[in-house]
Each structure stands twice: as C-alpha cells, then as structure tokens.
Structure 1
C-alpha cells in the first residue's frame, strides 16, 4: 500500500514540477529551442529523485 501511495505522489509531484518549469520558461521568455532541453533535464533529475525515493521506501518495507 505504501508503494502505491509513493508512486501516486511521485506522479503528482512530477506534474507539479512540470507546471513550475513551464511558468519559469514563460516568465523568463526562454526560446522554444531551449525549453525542450530544460524540460528534459528537469524531468530526468526528478525521475532519478523519485526512483531513489521508491527504492528507499521499498527497502524499508
């Protein structure tokens, strides 16, 4: 049950981070060409963070 909650929280968190990244790109008027690289970098880093959290929770359960 804890693992399911962790995965749902991770998806919600990733969605919120993407919304904040979009707001950053809009407020800084970052060109479209660079936005794709920013999104990719942020999503990879957040995914690594979420995977490490998932592994930590899984090992403790």
Structure 2
C-alpha cells in the first residue's frame, strides 16, 4: 500500500512538471500576455490535479 502511494506521488510530480513545461511552451507559442498566463497555469494545474486525485482514488479502491 505504501509503495503504491510513493510511486503515485512520484508519478504525479513528474506529470505536473511536464504539463507545466508544455503549458509554458503553449503560452510562448500562442503569445499569451503575461497577465493571462497565471490564469492559464492555474486552470490547467487544477484540472490535472483533479484528474490525478481521481486516478489515485480509483487505484486505491481497485486494489
């Protein structure tokens, strides 16, 4: 149980880092103004966090 938790946390950190890197590339490519970038990052991070939490809950109750 603990090993699943540790692996999932590492996976989640990697996913969030990679998604933020892709979001930064999107903001640069689409030339999104600086004042709107924080909203874009916040929205994407909240949605990804919700997906990661729901995935963790599904894994938790399936084992």
The RMSD of aligned alpha carbons is: 0.8
Q: TM-score normalized by structure 2?
A: 0.91
Residue 7 of structure 2: aligned partner: 5
Work out whether 1:15 is the aligned partner of 2:17.
yes
Q: Distance in 1 between matches of 2:6 and 2:58?
A: 14
Unaligned residue ranges in structure 2 (runs of 5+): none
Unaligned residue ranges in structure 1 (runs of 5+): none
Once the two structures are TM-superposed, the CA of residue 4 in structure 1 deviates from its matched residue by 1.3
Task: Out of 4-13 and 38-47, give the one that drifted further.
Answer: 4-13
Matched positions, count:
61
Contact 1:3–1:57, Cα closer than 8 Å, also in 2: no
Q: Among 31, 34, 41, which residue is 2:33 paired with? A: 31
Once the two structures are TM-superposed, the CA of residue 59 in structure 1 deviates from its matched residue by 0.9
Q: TM-score normalized by structure 1?
A: 0.94
